[in-house]
Amino acid sequence: ILPETLLFQLLGLSIATLSTVTHYGLRFTLISNVSLDSNSYRVIHHTAFYLGICLSMTLILAALLSSAAMVRESQCLTAMGFFCFALAFCGLIPAACWKYTHSTEVEDSMMDVYDFVYEEVRRNTSSFRRHELTAIHEAFLCCGKHSSFGDTASVEHETCPPGQVRDEGQDCLQEIQDFLKKHMDFVFSL
């Protein structure tokens, strides 16, 4: 097997692993489950998973076809491998354009979900939302947010992880931004 085909297989497996972690990871799944239908996060979450899996399978197939073409010296397998690489490349172009034109949509939709849940708890309208907010605080290791809409101490006292004082805790909106920035840096490095 050529080293290039092995690299493409590893790249395909890495993309599949990252897509799976993105789809089933605690933080992403928690936000997806809490988001409302009117919020675009759930659609983005599922689309990113399926596109990542399709891209990874296309790269793995292209690498396998290229290896088989080399061993058998088959022009047909070479053409099929090249076609798979072309498909992967053509799939990356719209993804890069979407990232450029919608650069903050994922971050904004995640923070909108947090804001919605936080404000629902602050208004004392839902004990179910209080449980969701506690889960978000525990998953992101953060505590509340800086708000100009009123006192937030009672919300944070009820929903922050035990032993985490407000002054020492991270603002959840900032923590979500930092988490997404690190994750997206990793995605684009692949």
| Exposure class string for 159-178: b at 16+ Cβ within 10 A, else e | bbeeebeeeebbebbebbee
Q: Are residues 92 and 53 in the same domain?
A: yes
Q: Are residues 40 and 6 in the same domain?
A: yes
What number of residues does the chain have?
Answer: 190
* Phi, psi at 40, each rounded to 5°: -80, -5
Q: Give 38: exposed, middle or buried? Use CB within 10 Å, 0-12, 13-18, 19+.
A: exposed
- In a domain, residue 113? The reply is no
- In a domain, residue 120? The reply is no
- In a domain, residue 49? The reply is yes
Structure tokens at 81: 């491998």
Q: Are residues 17 and 89 in the same domain?
A: yes
Q: Are residues 1 and 87 in the same domain?
A: yes
Domain range for residue 59? 1-104
Q: What is the pLDDT of residue 1?
A: 55
pLDDT in tens, the chain (190 residues): 567 788 888 989 999 999 999 999 999 999 999 998 888 899 999 998 999 999 999 999 999 998 888 888 889 988 998 899 899 888 888 888 888 888 788 899 999 999 999 888 888 766 788 899 989 999 998 888 876 555 556 677 777 877 665 555 568 889 999 999 999 888 888 7
Q: Are residues 1 and 85 in the same domain?
A: yes
Q: Are residues 70 and 129 in the same domain?
A: no
Q: What is the pLDDT of residue 151?
A: 56
Q: Where do runs of H (alpha helix) occur along the chain?
A: 3-24, 26-34, 41-72, 75-101, 105-122, 127-140, 153-159, 172-189
